Every structure is written in structure tokens, then in C-alpha cells.
Homo-oligomer: A and B are copies of this chain.
Amino acid sequence: MTLTLTPVPGIPMIQPGDDLAVITLQSLARAGICLQDGDVLVVTSKIVSKAEGRLVSLAQVTPSSRAVELAAQSEKDPRLVELILSESARVLRVRPGAIIVEHRLGFVCANAGIDHSNVQLPDCVLLLPEKPDASAQSLRRRLEETGGARLGVLVIDSHGRAWRMGVVGVAIGLSGLPGLVDLRGRPDLFDARLQVTLVGVADELAAAASLVMGQSDEGTPLIHVRGFPYPLREASLGELLRPQDQDLFR
């Protein structure tokens, strides 16, 4: 089956308190896209954060002494570093330009995913959504109620990676679609056992959607996906997070 990823045009500039479900439904309708069972909507974390009021003014942040120290090492604004620390469970690595952390949400990323591009107000930064799984679930429920179709919703961000250059889209919240698919025991063409068992399908879809979005959010913070090749089911981000004791690179 063909997989199609279509940017949904006409998403306005999102403001705190905006109703993403209503905006999504209106934009889909204007684009002539009729939701069907099995469709997935992929939304960038930026507009979820904006709708949820996760903008923070640096002027209101007082850095701790630890933030001041890490700011010197990372060559960052100490107030930004204070926010990074407040959003993180632990700091893994520091270098000029980047503080690699385990985010309070459980994944590893640079600078706790705090963004200061595409933020309208000077000296403001955007934190990731408080609970991206819950954001995805809430959006999904509203879309399913109105649209009458069984859907998946994926909230994505862009993360750097060990070993490879360039950021790629990754899942940070999901509802209604699998994070991992376990192919263990499915016989291959010669009835041997597959060696590779777990596929990070939500991350693969996040990367695909990110490719279509580009990085600057200009009009494409929402992607409509048709032809996702695995059955939809209940899931949460946790299944994509490697437990620390299984992680050779933390």
C-alpha cells in the first residue's frame, strides 16, 4: 500500500489557548481531506506548546548557581540553562552550544527541546508540551468524535543523534498508533526467525512527517498521513524509550 504524507495548509499562527482540534478540523475541511479509519495526523510539538501556553519570558527566570556554571561551559544564556535544568531529569554531556539531557519526559535530547526559533516575542523561549502523550490523546479524541474515524495522533520534535549528523523528526507523544512493532517470530522468507525484532515505527513516521514539514514550520506544522502500514492500537511514548540499564550510550 502506498503511504502518503500531505501537509495540511492554512494552519494559522497559534496563540495560547487556541483549540487545535477545531483548527485542525477546519483546515482539513478547507483542504478537502476527509478523515478515514487508519489515518494518522502528525503535529509538530511547537504548535502544541504554543496552544498550551508554554512560552516563557527569560526576563522572569532567575538562574541558579548550577545554571550559571553550566552556562559558562555551554556558552548559553544562564536563564535559558535554568529552564533546561528545570525541564530535565539529568545532564548527560555539555559542550559549547549544547547541553545533552535526559528530559523529564524520559528521552535524551539537546537543550531539553527548548526552542527559540519561531517565537514571536523577543526574549521568549518555548518549552515542550507538559504531557505530549496527553496532548496527542486529547487531540485524537476530539478529532475522532467529530470525524467519526479511528485515528492516530503523533506529536513530533527534531532531535540530534549520536554518531550521525543532522537532526531528524522523532516522536515525543503519541495516541492511537503503535510506537514499536514487534516482528519477533514472524517467519521470514525462508522460515528462519527474524534477527531484528522491534521496529520504531512511530519514529519512522515522525521522520517521514518531518521531511515533509521542513524545519521552519512555515504553514506545515500538521501532516495528514494515509496508508500507515500497521494496525492502530493504544500506546504511549514509553515504549520508545530505552531503559537506562539497557542503554550502552548514556
Chain A contacts to B: CB under 8 angstroms: 1-7, 13, 93, 95, 100, 107-108, 115-120, 158, 161-170, 179-180, 183, 186, 188-190, 192-196, 198-201, 203-205, 207-208, 210-212, 214-218, 228-229, 239-242, 247-250
With A116-B192, A158-B196 as contacts: A163 and B242 at CB distance below 8 Å: yes
Beta-carbon contact of A5 and B6 below 8 Å: no
How many monomers of this protein are in the complex? 2
Main secondary structure of the interface of A (DSSP, over half): loop
* Contact sample, A vs B, 14 pairs, CB 8 Å cutoff: A2-B6, A3-B4, A108-B162, A108-B163, A161-B162, A163-B241, A163-B249, A164-B170, A164-B240, A166-B179, A168-B200, A168-B207, A207-B207, A207-B208
Measured between beta carbons, the chain B residues less than 8 angstroms from A229 are 211-212, 214
Beta-carbon contact of A165 and B180 below 8 Å: yes
* C-alpha spacing A117/B179, complex, angstroms: 23
Measured between beta carbons, the chain B residues less than 8 angstroms from A215 are 183, 194, 196, 199
